[in-house]
Structure 1
Amino acid sequence: MNEVYKPLQEIYQKLNIRDSAIYYQNKIKEYDLLVLNSKYNSLQEVINRDKKEEKKSSKNYIIRIFIGLGAIGCIIIYFFKRKAKNTEEILNSEPILPETYHHLIDLLEKKDPAFMFAFEKVYPKFRENLLAKNADLQQSEIEFCALLKIQLTTKEIAKYTFIETRTVQNKKYRLRKKFEIPSNLDIYIWINQF
């Protein structure tokens, strides 16, 4: 529009028709003001759109944080329930009568070779099931698994077998490797299935 108004204003100015020259000069200013106003409105729209996108992205960020925290919470709850279930399985597994348990411990303290015979009376399929899992087991490893089966702690095993606790831990580690027991699974829970 300025390309139309400007030549008209110049023509009226040369012809010395002031009213028409001023009229077109005002039209040029109006148009410039209109263009400036339009640019300002466009800039405001861009700013508002950026603010909305920023709000959306911050909302998305907050939503992602809550989803992440929820997922972590679910994982933690899952592991606690799993651990509780595994503990419950141990507690609900074939219980040894106190007399039988004390008899087995007594045989261990005396280093009596009859321990394994007494143990196999209580758990007749234990040796067979272990050998089915790994046929290369030695007799000493089967006996060690029997100690784990009756839920003796590392210190108790060390005490009854007259070896260092570190040696007991090493034996547990070797059994884990031999049977490929996952590191997140308690060895007592694993042994308890036999």
Structure 2
Amino acid sequence: MKRLLAPCVLFFQISLSLLAQADLLQQYSSYSIEELLKVKVGCTSFFEQQPIETPGNVYIVPMKAEEHASLRSYEDIVNYLVPGNIVWRHSFTGALLGTRGVITDNNSKSMLLLDGQDINMRTFNGTPNGLENTLTGDLERMEIINGPGSLVHGSGAINGIVNFVPKNGTTTRGFLSMLPTVIRNTYRKQS
């Protein structure tokens, strides 16, 4: 009986996930190039701007569930999708964000924002676990600024800024289920 329960639950989760992703695919595929160029960026200053008006390089990474299913954390997203940025692992401070080949000794020089709000801890080397979060299904997009282009945010943004923009609860339906395994991998499904 126990052997049948796990495959049945997994089949149920996958089928619900496929139904929800069909709606997302239609929404993203309907955008034209002109609509994509009109996306406003909010992490470069204290008000929204067009990407062409922002100082420095701004990368906007839309989080499409069907394309980014293999990325398990924010660390993976930055490593594989953001040019010029890399995340290194340190035994004491955890994940360290590097920009343009420069990796600092702690994350207090890189600012991590969650929907425009600073999540860095000033007392503990920046943000110890901001890049290790595994809830990538909650993101609508990521906005990344390489280098000190955003002087508005102060000394915590010397190395760059990563803004995690979550999905809106009124427009996103479904649930997230995670199944941790013994070998440090996590299989997750969102619907």
TM-score (norm 1): 0.29
**Which one has the largest radius of gyration?**
1
> Larger % of helix: which?
1
- Greater relative contact order, per chain length (Cα 8 Å cut-off, separation 6+): 2
Structure richer in strand, relative to its length:
2
